[in-house]
Structure 1
Amino acid sequence: MKNTFLIGLIFLSISCKGQDEKQNRFTIENFDEQILIYQPVKNELNKNSYADGLRFLEETKKRIIKNNKIDISDYWNILTVFNNLKESNENIDIAFEKFLNTEDSCEYLVSFEEFFDKYTLYIESKMTKELKICNNSVQIKNTKKINVKEYSITNGLDENLVKLIERIGILDQKDRYNEKIQNKLDIKNQKKIDSLYSKYQIYIGKTLVGNELKSVMWQVIQHSNLTYMEKYLPIVNTAVKENELGESALKYLIDRIYSGKYNYQIFGSQGSIKMADELIRNQVKSKYKIK
């Protein structure tokens, strides 16, 4: 009887291990489905970041289920989860490929370049390598250069405002490899955004500059200092509620502010920076009406 019981335990252990391995075995084809049943394994490598990674993973799963689809922000979040959980390079490669195969992946890499060093060296090197390709790609060139006149007429927009915002967007990305030069450009852009907000008294988003340029003001804000970000946080929050900007932009800005002030984040967009405890996260979500 004792031997039978031991055999049963061994069989159960092998079965559970096999089930875990099956759940965590990704391919390009099954990734979107498998991530919803993915159960990370706690080990010596990830024991300090496991709880944060698990919370962020569950939030990402809920978002995917709610939207009934997986989008670029979800792939980015999954990369962050894999980073925190010290996932295998094999799984990281698959998640990164899924991210790259999504429209606007280059824009994400350009916008978030300054945070690459918050990831493991393996992920950072992959991001840096791909960013160099992006900077010479048609994707980036096309987003930086639009036919302002045609775009303005087609969307019923003020051509002068569109031209100005497009120029601000170009300068925002002009010299990210040269911090000294880019800092000067960022300050100039911040003054221009201040002037535009003073004139229009609303976020310069989809209504004023269309879908292609709705994120430019946000990019300038998130490339600024803590005081400037806090100043415009309520304006960005209102813009999101009025569908002028996507909710992921608000979450990212909140994480930028909280990581700068308190050295923890709410939504998990800031790489390896620790997550706030559940009480604080729920308070922030309630304050900004984010589910």
Structure 2
Amino acid sequence: MDLASIGGIVIALVAILGAMMMEGGSIAQITQLTAAIIVIGGTIGAISVQFPLNVLLASAKGILGVFLHKDHDEEAVLKQLVEFANKARKSGIVSLDGDLASVHDPFLKQGLMLAVDGTESGEVRKILQLEIDNKSEMDEKVPQVLESAGAFAPTVGIIGAVLGLIQVMQHLDNIDEVGKGIAVAFVATIYGVALANLFCLPAAGKLKIRHKQHVMMQEMMLEGVISILEGLNPRMIETKLKHSSRTPERRRRRSDGQEEARGTRQP
């Protein structure tokens, strides 16, 4: 359980609702099922028009990652890679075949399997980098869905408020009902703004951070496997991976720059 996500939402709701009650309000005043249906249903409909179905299904699973998440133990992965490097240096890369069952990360396991099977380091790098890029392409769309929902929700809330005001206008002969109706109409706006700013946009930001951390971890695994395959000194591998603070974006820009440089050297 991600206590920061759960605690953040609880703190926000307690602060907002508590302040409202301190001013004499009540939770019943902002409890409107119709407004919730308009805002949630309208927002889901809007993002369904914008994104393909497979992206929406992936985002539905990704949203769970805001509350349920298991961080990678970078130190444990680094230690495991160094142990593999020591064993490969003493007994050969094929000796790691018996250790594959102890590798739980599918990405690292795939890289080690390629190395054990005798794949050249250049091909291993291409395969693993393609795996990272393909997975990243989908993972980057999940925050985009939440950001779009955060943009649509307040507008849909305004639509709900206008619909409520239309109903109010039909009862202008009863001033008491008009006052209550206006209050109810603006509940939809509250729902829209709250959904966007208390969940959708913050959740999108958290998923972006986690995506970057995940890519950096995979980049470290990739470099570790390549280093083992090339027979580098285990101490050098440990130092190389431990001090590899370059972000995936900078790595990708460096790679793109190298490709462009190769292209300019061709006749």
TM-score, normalised to structure 2, is: 0.25
More helix by share: 2
Looking at both structures, which has the greater relative contact order when contacts are Cα pairs under 8 Å and sequence separation is at least 6? 2
